[in-house]
Chains A and B, each alone.
Chain A
Amino acid sequence: MKCNDYRYAIAGEPSKSDDLDAHAAGCESCANFRDQMLALDLKIAQALDVAVPDLVLPDLPTLSNDNGNVVSLPQPGSRRPTVPVWIGLAASLVLVAFLGIRFVISDIEHRSLAAEIVAHLDHEPRAWRSSNVAVSEQSLASVVRDDVEQMADDIGLVTYARTCVINGHTIPHLVIQGEYGLITLLLLPDEFINRATPIEGLGIEGVILPVGNGSIAIIGERGERVTELENKLINSVKWKT
């Protein structure tokens, strides 16, 4: 486990231990970080503890003959199984791909990189599976080492790393966990663009950013905050020439 992955997990849930303890036992810096997080949590708990006024019940209406007021609310155990976000996303992507295919047929000579990317995402349903488990350092390195000389190692929890083909070039396809859902990163060392290009799909949005002689596509759910990630990538990624 990388230090960044450990710190991501611990800052998400400082009281969690189990398999994370092994890393901290062998890494003094991370053990210190964990202790800082636990100490911080004690202070946060104190800071959140606001004074609570006495319970005053509102006027409660008699409901014996008033079944119309019963409102069904979700609760554990009785909750209808919700469709995982990635299934909804995948379904959206299928629709996006369908629309994309129509676009490609009508204008195949001028297919844009953005449309190619949107179409590609539909062909990697495994990439949309939500996970809290980081890919191994070796897997990540094996995917990016042919194209990337340097990249920030604190871009987030990388849960998927595979090589894929975009516009005939083999490229690294990474997925990290965002604040709303999964964020896809496509590292495109062979795709030079002059300016940032938006990517739009049903339920997803993103951008292709120029980076040196190549570019990077960042795609997430609508509303996802990616500015910090964009800056980290733009400032850190150096392609192998």
Chain B
Amino acid sequence: MNGSTADLTRKRRFDRVVTVLHRDMYRYAAWLSRDVGIAEEVVQEALLRAWKSLDALREDGAAKPWLLTIVRRENARYFERKRLETVDIDNLTPAQSAMLAETENSELDDLREAIYKLDDDYREPLVLQVLMGHSTREIAELMGINPGAVLTRLHRARIKLKDTVDDANDEV
């Protein structure tokens, strides 16, 4: 196979993989960074890195955890580079507040804000489980912690969110 044919085959494979998984990459990046602007940058960097590393992906069926691992690393690199300060919920940038755009459903808005405020350690496994459909074992591998620790974090995350929902219902 000559160089240009190889490139074309590679590009087709890349398009196939990222077209399907781009949504997951973006949503994961958005909830990791809590900033739609950063999420777009992280996804762009992750796509570039995935393109360069595509040969390391042996089976397309394993593309999702592979791409999310790249997103996770690019997000960490981004925050290492920028050394951003802690997000202040009362003083958000437009890109941050875009994550909390209000809808007609105030209960949902409250819940989204509560998720936004969760510690990264709680929010990330929740996103991976609820949004990405990852198993406890897959989350543990991605985050580099044991499955029991994942369950503990998920348990605490849901209890915190349940308290928020209950408090909101009590106020009503």
Contact = CB atoms under 8 A, between A and B. Distances in A.
B141 interface: yes
Contact of A180 (B56, B59, B145): B145
A89 to B, nearest CB: 10
Interface string B94-123: 000001000000011001100100000100
Given A44-B126, A74-B69, 15 more contacts: A12-B158, A37-B158, A40-B162, A47-B112, A48-B27, A52-B22, A57-B47, A63-B51, A65-B3, A73-B53, A75-B58, A78-B62, A82-B141, A177-B151, A181-B145
Given A63-B10, A75-B66, A48 B31 contact: yes
B172 interface: no
Given A41-B130, A70-B55, A75-B65, A179 B121 contact: yes
Contacts of A13: 129, 136, 151, 154
Q: How large is the interface on A (under 10, 10 to 19, 20 to 34, 35 or more residues)?
A: 35 or more
A58 interface: yes
Most buried by A among B66, B150, B151: B151
Contacts of B19: 55
Interface string A181-217: 1100000000000000000000000000000000000
Interface string B50-86: 0111011111001001100110000000000000000
B115 to A, nearest CB: 6
Contact of A71 (B11, B27, B53): B53
Interface in A24-59: 36-37, 40-41, 43-50, 52-53, 55-58
A233 interface: no
B141 A8 contact: no
Contacts of B36: 50
Interface string A88-132: 000000000000000000000000000000000000000000111
A76 B108 contact: no
A8 B156 CA distance: 9
Interface of B: 3-4, 6-7, 10-11, 14, 18-19, 22-23, 26-27, 30-31, 36, 40, 44-45, 47-49, 51-53, 55-59, 62, 65-66, 69-70, 99, 107-108, 111-112, 115, 121, 126-127, 129-131, 136, 138, 141, 145-156, 158-159, 161-162, 165
B172 to A, nearest CB: 15
Contacts, number: 169
A17 B101 CA distance: 35
Contacts of A178: 149, 152
A9 interface: yes
Given A50-B36, A76-B65, A131 B48 contact: no
A40 B161 contact: yes
A145 B131 CA distance: 43
B111 A44 contact: yes
Given A40-B158, A132-B148, A75 B62 contact: yes
A72 B50 CA distance: 10
A231 interface: no
